């Protein structure tokens, strides 16, 4: 079999060689200069440029039509709506510039394709035009910068809500642990030297503040319309806590504590009723049914978004957003760290 | 520096006066001196180009393999096992660690070996002496060393593919602690050491090469070649070399500290780590320090990759539009502005690291400023086409392709530069789409344009035009087909560097988009086979090149069609005008070479 392949390859080479020979001979016989570009070719390529432009723009619009409901649904947090508003404004600007500037490029590429009898115009520069296209982008950028930084400062501001929920997301290869501050709403200090089987997130056991802390895996709950302050730690390498539905993200860096805060505005149950989300989930379930898998429902997730090793692609934890009373009922059922330890002793 | 430049000048004069002696000398060279350890810039440029092509083929093949995995996760492709072996491609399914290794090495090779070493190495070497009218580089010997360091570094990088634990796999940005801890990922064992060794050699190559380029351009310009008469390729390569000279040493120190952390027990980047079932003794460092050092090179690096391509296209677009480049001085000014700004924007890669938000806002400001000179450049290219008489050589097609990808990829940069918006698009496929289009495609289009345009200077033959057309259209369509849809993946929140997007259901219905991308990638890869056939065939059997096939103004087209050591037999040419007198009124031809003296009432275009 291998022999056959090799033989076929050799034959192909011989055939190609002959083909090139014929081509070279005819080239030399006619004495043409093949590298010279003829008017017909200029015209064809110019047309190609224009055609490409239409095809490219159509491809873009087709993709919007195909994917608009598959992109992230509406933001489920207060600041997320601001980000989305700014993002949409930026998209509008960027798409406009994309169409106009590419349009000019491809139009000129077609319009001014070379012909033998024409000479290009000798134009060196044009101060008015240059002033225009320097100042217009500058002004547009000034607006982008001003609004961007306004929102950035608002989102990153450390304003203290009366009674925020404090949660720590602790990352390690390849899972997340959520830690609640407990009744005192204070985290105890950590000490990575004390990490062991019964102290998986490395808390300083001498710090009484962490006795009432609550550790959960696989999923954690947060109350709707209440500010949540996240702090992030990592046990081993850099991870990133990416909560796309809340437009929230922060790296988890070993050796330092990072933080992010947001106020969720839509519960998981409400989000499941969102038409955009529903359409998406129906589509996914149809695909799953074909493969014989169980249907799923929409869930908020924390994804790892910084390369962290072999299972980077599979490092998530579920977030459940629910009413404050449901949240209180849920959290009351979770054992505290100390309670767990006592239970283990019994 | 002072001393060095003096010797360079002396050497230049020496060559100038004894051109004939050099010619005689050439006859005594044996094969090894002429083609292997050559000090001739034209030979070195070909060495860089062919090495880069080999590396590019490796990196492109890698991308096809991981694209197959992303489009059809879990599907068996027998060739993956035969190519990658039983360990990495068991039953034709790519291993997750192998996936990360491929992504890492693909990025490393493309960014450094193809688009830095390959692009600058090839065209700086070929064009600097030819376009400024010099016999050779200021130091031929250092130039030769530059290539051989590059070669050695390529060999080390490729050899890391064949070791037991596989090559480095922490991403091309090799953030510690992932890259520092062998327990974290197999690629951080020997593979990472080889990566660091290879990159150190690469940096040495880059530095001595860059030093040489700068000195040559500043000191060895021929009579009349004022700075304001230089073709924009020269300005681009000069600014590129300066950027490299200022930023690569920082990468070297960054890598050195990582080597210390990995092998000598220091803790520059390590703190509070518990891994492999025990707490790490090293503590007190910060991985964020690494990110700062890395991106201090990393961002100028983007422009080290891009500027030569922009320079090349400036030259090709003016030549083939048969029109002066629009706003020559504005082009130089914007390149200088981009070069300067590129040093104060690195923090935009780090908005989400927990860096002080105020610091983030400073970087938002500086980063968005870069959009202004970039916009000026794009508009100048477009206006150069306006009322031109465009000759569609393959080089011209690729140049227009570059302008398009520069626009398309550039505008999404406005979103990524905005720290507020970065919160939601950071590290998603939106970023992958952005930088592949604006940096990857633009730079590779520029490189292709340069190869088609200057092939006759390199190999004295022409590349086949029709195959060039085919190559361009397949590549252009394929490339946009690969990277444009990725924006939508990013907007759906799909993170980068995921081995598969369907291990949990959230992105299950994006799989058809991944398949579309992969199909375009395969088409584009076949397009590159056309290029390879055309390239290697034309080296040996292409049509014989005339002296000035594109009716161009610059000095390289005044050299004889033979590889002359010292470039011009006899005296060096004298320059009387800038490089862009195309279709100038009052001249019969639509081009006026730089060597033609100015008429009595004629103004030099570069003076405007």
- Residue B91 to residue A272: CA distance in whole angstroms: 40
Q: Choose, out of A310, A317, A318, the residue to mutate when testing the contact with B (most B CBs < 10 Å).
A: A310
A265 and A299, same domain (yes or no): yes
- Under an 8 A CB cutoff, do A42 and B391 touch? yes
pLDDT at position B566: 87
Chain B residues in contact with A105 (beta carbon < 8 A): 381-382, 385, 400, 403-404, 407
Across residues B278-297, what is the average pLDDT?
A: 93
Question: Is some CB atom of chain A closer than 8 A to the CB atom of B319?
Answer: no
Q: Nearest residue on chain B to A259, judged by CA atoms?
A: B354
The residue among B535, B548, B556, B533 whose CA lies nearest residue B590 is B548
Q: Are A123 and B407 within 8 A, CB to CB?
A: no
Q: At what angle do helices B442-459 and B119-132 cross, to 10 degrees?
A: 50
Sheet containing strand A300-304, edge to edge, reads: A219-223, A316-322, A300-304, A239-243, A248-252
Within an 8 Å CB–CB cutoff, is residue B323 touching chain A?
A: yes
DSSP of B71-103, one letter per residue? HSTT---HHHHHHHHHHHSGGG---HHHHHHHH
ipTM above 0.90, yes or no: yes
Q: The tokens of A250 are what?
A: 């922060």
- Structural domain spans, chain B: 2-21+35-607
The A residues from 27 to 46 touching B (CB cutoff 8 Å) are 27, 33-35, 37, 41-42, 45-46
Say whether residue B513 is in contact with chain A using an 8 A CB cutoff: yes
pLDDT in tens, B553-564: 999 999 998 888
Give DSSP secondary structure letters for B225-251: --GGGS-HHHHHHHHHHHHHHHHHHHH
Mean pLDDT of chain A: 92
pLDDT in tens, A79-103: 999 999 999 999 999 999 999 999 9
**Same domain, yes or no, for A148 and A176?**
no
Quickly list DSSP for B383-397: HHHTT--B---HHHH
Peptide bond into A174 cis (omega under 30): yes
Question: Are A203 and A137 found together in one domain?
Answer: no
Query: Any idea which of A334-343, B143-152, B534-543 has the lowest mean pLDDT?
Result: A334-343
Same domain, A207 and A105: no
Under 8 Å between Cβ of B565 and B25: yes
- Establish if A95 belongs to a structural domain: yes
Res A160: pLDDT: 66
Q: How far is A197 from chain B (nearest CA, A)?
A: 10
Same domain, A314 and A340: yes
User: What is the model's pLDDT at position A157?
Assistant: 84
Please tell me if residue A50 touches chain B, with a CB cutoff of 8 Å: no
Give the torsion sign (CA, B398, B399, B400, B404): positive
Cβ separation A312–B360 shorter than 8 A: no
How many whole angstroms separate alpha carbon A302 and alpha carbon A252?
12
Query: Which regions of chain A does DSSP assign to beta strands (E)?
Result: 165-172, 175-180, 214-217, 219-223, 228-234, 239-243, 248-252, 258-262, 300-304, 316-322
Contact A260, A248 (CB under 8 A): yes
Distance between CA atoms of residues A244 and B425, nearest Å? 9
Give pLDDT tens digits for B368-416: 999 999 999 999 999 999 999 999 999 999 999 999 999 999 999 999 9
Higher-confidence residue: A53 or B17?
A: A53
Q: Does B91 touch chain A (CB under 8 A)?
A: no
Q: ∠ CA(B328), CA(B398), CA(B158), 5° rounding?
A: 110
Among residues B190, B178, B172, B147, the alpha carbon closest in space to that of B62 is found at B172
What is the pLDDT confidence band of residue A161, given thresholds at 50, 70 and 90? low
- Which residues of chain B lie closer than 8 angstroms to A108, CB-CB? 382, 385-386, 388
Give the best residue of B166, B187, B318, B392 to mutate against chain A (max A CB count within 10 A). Answer: B392
Nearest by Cα to A182 from A331, A318, A320, A342: A331
Pick the closest to residue A174 from B104, B200, B185, B456 (CA basis): B185
Q: What is the DSSP string of A203-268?
A: B-TT-GGGTT-EEEESEEEEETTS-EEEEEEESSS-EEEEEGGGTEEEEE-TTS-EEEEE-B-S-H
Residue A71 lies inside a defined structural domain of this protein: yes
To test the contact with chain A by mutation, choose from B279, B509, B530, B539 the residue with the greatest count of A C-beta atoms within 10 A, namely B509
Structure tokens at A298: 């929409």
CB contacts of A133 in chain B (<8 Å) are: 375-376, 379
3-state secondary structure of A169: strand
A222-245 confidence digits (pLDDT tens): 999 999 999 999 999 999 999 999
Q: Which H or E run includes B278?
A: strand B278-279
Q: What single DSSP character describes residue B104?
A: H
Span B165-180, mean pLDDT? 94
pLDDT at B9 over 60: no
Backbone angles phi, psi at B38, to 5 degrees: -85, 150
Chain A to chain B Cβ contacts (< 8 Å): 360
Q: Please write the tens of the pLDDT for every residue from B234-243.
A: 999 999 999 9
Alpha carbon of B565: minimum distance to chain A alpha carbons (Å): 27
Using left for φ > 0, alpha for ψ between -120 and 50, and beta otherwise, residue B357 falls in: alpha
pLDDT at res. B15: 44
Q: What is the average per-residue pLDDT within B508-512?
A: 90
- Name the residue with tokens 């933001």: A75
Residue B412's alpha-carbon distances to A52, A290, B348, B489, in angstroms, are 21, 37, 14, 14
For an interface test with B, the pick among A108, A257, A286, A317 (most B C-beta atoms closer than 10 Å) comes out as A108
Q: At residue B22, does pLDDT exceed 50?
A: no
Q: Is the peptide bond before B177 cis (omega within 30 degrees of 0)?
A: yes
pLDDT tens, residue by residue, B48-88: 999 999 999 999 999 999 999 999 998 899 999 988 888 89
DSSP state of B447: H
A175 occurs within a structural domain: yes
- The answer to whether the CB atoms of A115 and B389 lie below 8 A apart is yes
Q: Do A109 and A222 belong to one domain?
A: no
| Judgement on whether residues A140 and A72 belong to the same structural domain of the protein | yes
- Whole-angstrom distance, CA of residue B203 vs CA of residue B294: 13
Other Cβ atoms less than 10 A from the Cβ of B335: the count is 24
**Predicted pLDDT at A18:** 84
Residue A67: which domain range?
40-114+124-156
B47 contact partners, CB below 8 Å, separation of at least 6: B38, B147, B151
Which residues from chain B sit within 8 angstroms of residue A195, using beta carbons?
274, 279
Q: How far is A281 from chain B (nearest CA, A)?
A: 8
* A101 Cβ contact list (under 8 Å, min separation 6): B378, B379, B382, B407
pLDDT per residue as tens digits for the range B155-169: 999 999 999 999 999
User: Are A129 and B397 within 8 A, CB to CB?
Assistant: no
B216 versus B607: the higher-pLDDT residue is B216
Q: Looking at residue A245, which CATH number applies to its domain?
A: 2.60.40.420
A109-121 per-residue burial string, b: 16 or more CB within 10 A, e: under 16: bbbbbbeeebebe
By C-alpha distance, the chain B residue nearest A251 is: B353
A174 touches chain B (CB under 8 A): no
**CB contact (8 A) between residue B407 and residue A37:** no
CB atoms under 10 Å from CB of A243, counted, come to: 27
For residues A259 and A293, state if they share a domain.
yes
Q: Is the pLDDT confidence value at B8 over 50?
A: no
Restricting to B residues 469-508, those with a Cβ less than 8 Å away from any Cβ of A are 469, 473, 476-477, 480-481, 484-485, 488, 491-493, 495-501, 503-506, 508
Pairing verdict, β A165-172 and A228-234: parallel
Question: So what's the pLDDT on residue B1?
Answer: 36
Quick one: tokens of B460?
Answer: 């004295």
3-state SS class at B503:
coil
Query: What residues of B are in contact with residue A24 (Cβ under 8 Å)?
Result: 541
Q: Does A307 touch chain B (CB under 8 A)?
A: yes
Reported confidence tier of residue B28, pLDDT bands at 50, 70, 90: low
Query: What topology does CATH give the domain B2-21+35-607?
Result: Cytochrome C Oxidase; Chain A (1.20.210)
How far apart (Å, rounded) are the C-alpha atoms in residues A259 and A136? Answer: 37
Minimal Cα–Cα distance from B259 to chain A, Å? Answer: 17
CA distances in angstroms from A321 to A196, A298, B316, B377, listed in the order given: 31, 12, 58, 49
Q: Is the pLDDT of residue B7 over 60?
A: no
Closest residue to B286, CB basis, from A112, A202, A255: A255
A193 neighbourhood in chain B, CB within 8 Å: 279
A254 found inside a domain: yes
Q: A81 at the B interface (CB within 8 A)?
A: no
Same domain, A226 and A337: yes
A144 and A204 inside one domain: no
**What CA–CA distance (Å, rounded) separates B207 from B144?**
13
Residue B5: its pLDDT value, please? 40
* Rounded distance between C-alpha atoms, residue A181 and residue A185, angstroms: 5
- Note whether A324 and A198 are same-domain residues: yes
Give the chain A residue whose CA is nearest to the CA of B367.
A145
What is the percent of chain B where pLDDT is above 90?
A: 84
* Secondary structure, 3-state, B119-187: HHHHHHHHHHHHHHCCCCCCCHHHHHHHHHHHHHHHHHHHHHHHCCCCCCCCCCCCCCCCCCCCCCCHH
pLDDT bucket at B27, cuts 50 / 70 / 90: low
Give chain B's length: 608
Residues A171 and A146 in one domain: no
Residue B265: HSE in the Cβ half-sphere, 13 Å Cα cutoff: 1
Q: What is the mean pLDDT of chain B?
A: 91
Convert the pLDDT of each residue in B228-284 to its tens digit.
Answer: 999 999 999 999 999 999 999 999 999 999 999 999 999 999 999 999 989 999 999
The helix (H) or strand (E) run that includes residue B274 is: strand B274-275
Give me the numbers of helices (H) and strands (E) for chain B, helices first please.
Answer: 21, 2
Contact call for residues A91 and B400 (beta carbons, < 8 A): no
> What count of other Cβ atoms lies within 10 Å of the Cβ of residue A325?
9
Residue A27 has pLDDT above 80, yes or no: no
d(CA B422, CA B504) in angstroms, rounded, equals 24
Interface list for A 230-289 with B (CB within 8 A)? 232, 235-238, 240, 242, 244-245, 247-251, 253-256, 258-259, 280, 283-284, 287-288
Interatomic CA distance for residues B125 and B47, integer angstroms: 10
Q: Beta B274-275 vs A175-180: how paired, if at all?
A: unpaired
Position B14 pLDDT exceeds 50: no
Domain tally, chain A? 2
| CB within 8 Å of A288: residues ≥ 6 apart | A294, A295, A296, B505, B508
């Amino acid at each position: 079999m291998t022999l056959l392949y090799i033989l076929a390859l050799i034959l192909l080479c011989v055939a190609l060689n002959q083909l090139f020979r014929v081509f070279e001979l005819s080239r030399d016989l006619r004495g043409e200069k093949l590298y010279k570009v003829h008017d017909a070719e200029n015209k064809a390529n110019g047309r190609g440029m224009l055609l490409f432009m239409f095809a490219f723009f159509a491809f873009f619009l087709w993709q919007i039509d195909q994917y608009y409901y598959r992109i992230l649904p509406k933001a489920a947090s207060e600041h997320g709506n601001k980000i989305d508003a700014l993002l949409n404004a930026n998209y509008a600007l960027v798409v406009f510039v994309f169409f106009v500037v590419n349009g000019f490029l491809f139009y000129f590429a077609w319009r001014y394709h070379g012909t033998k009898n024409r000479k290009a115009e000798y134009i060196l520069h044009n101060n008015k035009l240059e002033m225009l296209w320097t100042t217009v982008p500058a002004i547009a950028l000034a607006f982008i910068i001003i609004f961007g930084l306004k929102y950035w400062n608002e989102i990153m501001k450390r304003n203290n809500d009366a009674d925020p929920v404090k949660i720590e997301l602790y990352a390690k290869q390849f899972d997340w642990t959520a830690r609640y501050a407990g009744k005192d709403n204070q985290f105890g200090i950590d000490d990575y030297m004390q990490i062991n089987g019964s102290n998986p997130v490395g808390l300083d056991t001498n710090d009484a503040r962490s006795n009432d802390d609550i550790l959960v895996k696989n999923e954690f709950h947060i109350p709707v319309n209440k500010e949540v302050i996240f702090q992030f730690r990592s046990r081993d390498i850099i991870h990133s806590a990416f909560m796309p539905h809340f437009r929230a993200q922060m790296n988890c860096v070993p050796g330092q504590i990072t933080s992010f805060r947001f106020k969720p505005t839509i519960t998981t149950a409400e989000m499941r009723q969102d038409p955009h989300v529903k359409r998406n989930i129906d589509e996914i379930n149809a695909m799953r049914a074909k493969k014989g898998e169980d249907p799923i429902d929409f869930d908020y997730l924390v994804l790892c978004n910084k390369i962290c090793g072999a299972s980077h692609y599979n490092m998530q934890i579920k977030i459940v957003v629910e009413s404050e009373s449901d949240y209180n009922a849920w959290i009351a059922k979770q054992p505290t760290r100390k309670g767990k330890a006592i239970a283990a002793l019994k | 520096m002072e001393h060095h430049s003096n010797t360079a000048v002396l050497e230049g004069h020496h060559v100038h006066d004894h051109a004939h002696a050099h010619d005689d000398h050439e006859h005594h060279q044996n094969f090894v001196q002429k083609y292997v350890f050559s000090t001739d810039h034209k030979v070195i440029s070909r060495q860089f180009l062919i090495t880069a092509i080999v590396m590019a083929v490796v990196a492109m093949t890698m991308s096809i393999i991981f694209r197959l995995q992303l489009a059809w996760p879990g599907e068996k492709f027998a060739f993956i096992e035969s190519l990658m072996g039983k360990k990495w491609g068991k039953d034709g399914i790519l291993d997750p660690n192998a996936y990360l290794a491929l992504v890492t090495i693909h990025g490393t090779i493309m960014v450094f070996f193809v688009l830095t070493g390959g692009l600058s190495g090839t065209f700086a070497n070929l064009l600097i002496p030819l376009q400024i009218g010099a016999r050779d580089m200021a130091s031929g010997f250092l130039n030769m060393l530059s290539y051989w360091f590059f070669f050695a570094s390529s060999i080390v990088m490729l050899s890391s593919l064949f070791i037991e634990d596989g090559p480095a796999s922490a991403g091309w940005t090799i953030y510690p602690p992932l890259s520092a801890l062998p327990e974290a990922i197999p690629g951080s064992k020997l593979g990472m050491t080889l990566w660091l060794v290879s990159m150190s050699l690469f940096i040495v190559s880059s530095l001595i090469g860059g030093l040489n380029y700068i000195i040559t351009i500043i000191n060895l310009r021929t009579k009349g070649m004022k700075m304001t008469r230089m073709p924009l390729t020269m300005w681009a390569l000069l600014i590129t070399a300066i950027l490299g000279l200022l930023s690569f040493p920082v990468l070297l120190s960054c890598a050195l500290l990582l080597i210390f952390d990995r092998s000598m027990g220091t803790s520059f980047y390590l703190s509070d780590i518990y891994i492999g079932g025990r707490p790490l003794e090293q503590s007190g460092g910060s991985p964020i320090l690494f990110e700062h050092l890395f991106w201090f090179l990393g961002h100028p690096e983007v422009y080290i990759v891009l500027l030569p391509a922009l320079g090349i296209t400036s030259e090709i677009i003016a030549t083939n539009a048969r029109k002066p480049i629009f706003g020559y001085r504005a082009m130089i000014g914007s390149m200088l502005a981009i070069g300067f700004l590129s040093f104060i924007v690195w923090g935009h890669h780090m908005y989400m690291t927990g860096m002080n938000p105020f610091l983030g806002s400073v970087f938002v400001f500086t980063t968005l400023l870069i959009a202004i000179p970039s916009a000026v450049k794009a508009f100048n290219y477009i206006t150069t086409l306006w009322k031109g008489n465009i000759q569609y050589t393959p080089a011209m097609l690729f140049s227009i392709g570059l302008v398009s990808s520069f626009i398309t990829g550039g505008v999404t940069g406005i979103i990524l530069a905005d720290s507020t918006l970065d919160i939601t698009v950071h590290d998603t496929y939106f970023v992958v789409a952005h930088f592949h289009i604006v940096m990857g495609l633009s730079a590779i289009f520029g490189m292709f344009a340069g190869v088609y345009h200057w092939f006759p200077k390199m190999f004295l033959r022409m590349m086949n035009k029709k195959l060039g057309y085919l190559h361009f259209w397949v590549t252009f369509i394929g490339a946009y087909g690969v990277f444009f849809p990725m924006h939508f993946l990013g907007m759906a929140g799909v993170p980068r560097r995921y081995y598969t997007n369907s291990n949990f259901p959230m992105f299950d219905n994006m799989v058809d988009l991944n398949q579309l991308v992969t199909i375009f990638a395969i088409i584009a890869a076949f397009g590159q086979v056309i290029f390879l056939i055309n390239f290697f065939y034309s080296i040996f059997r292409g049509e014989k090149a005339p002296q000035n096939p594109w009716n161009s103004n610059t000095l390289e087209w005044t050299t004889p069609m033979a590889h002359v050591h010292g470039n011009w037999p006899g005296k060096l040419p004298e320059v009387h005008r800038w490089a862009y007198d195309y279709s100038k009124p009052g001249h019969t031809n639509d081009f006026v070479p730089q060597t033609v003296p100015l008429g009595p009432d004629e103004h030099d275009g570069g003076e405007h």
